[in-house]
Amino acid sequence: ASLWAGETGDHVLTLQGAHTDCVNHATFSLDGQRVGTASEDATAVVWTLAAAAPTLYLTMHSHIVSHAAFSPDGELVATASWDETACVCSSHTGRVVARLEHDDALVLSCAFSPDGSRLLTTTDTNAAFVFQVQPQ
C-alpha cells in the first residue's frame, strides 16, 4: 500500500512486506495514525504510520480478506472475508470480539456506523446486513 500527499501528489510512504498476496483494500484509522490493509493472502494487517511497520497481524480468516474498517474510536477493526464471515477484533491485541456468519455469502465490505455501535456488511448475494456491536 502506498501513501500519497493529497496536495502535491508526491509519494510519501510505502507499506510493504507484511502480505504475501495482493492487497485488496487499505483504510486509515480516524486519527490518521494507523492503516489497516486487507489481502488475498487471507490476512489483515494494522500498521503504525510513524514507524511504517506492521503492529498487528489478523489471521482468523480462511479465505481472501476483501475489506477492513476501523471503528470511530479506533479501538476495533472489522474485516470482511470470502470465508463467509466478518470479524470484529481489538485493533491493539487482535482478540476477536465478534465473528459474524453470513451463510453462503462472500462478505465484500464492512463499515462501522458513526457512533461505532453497528457494523454494516455487504455480500455477493446483493444484500447488506447490519449487526449490533457490543461495547467492550
Helices vs strands, H then E, count in the chain: 0, 13
Q: Please compute the mean of the pLDDT values over residues 131-136 and round it to a whole number.
A: 79
The Cα diameter of the chain in Å comes to 45
Per-residue pLDDT of 22-41, as tens digits, reads 999 999 999 999 999 999 99
Per-residue pLDDT of 39-90, as tens digits, reads 999 999 999 999 989 999 999 999 999 999 999 999 999 999 999 999 999 9
Q: pTM score, two decimals? A: 0.93
Which one, of 55, 43, 129, lies nearest residue 92 by Cα? 55
Three cell numbers written together for 84? 463467509
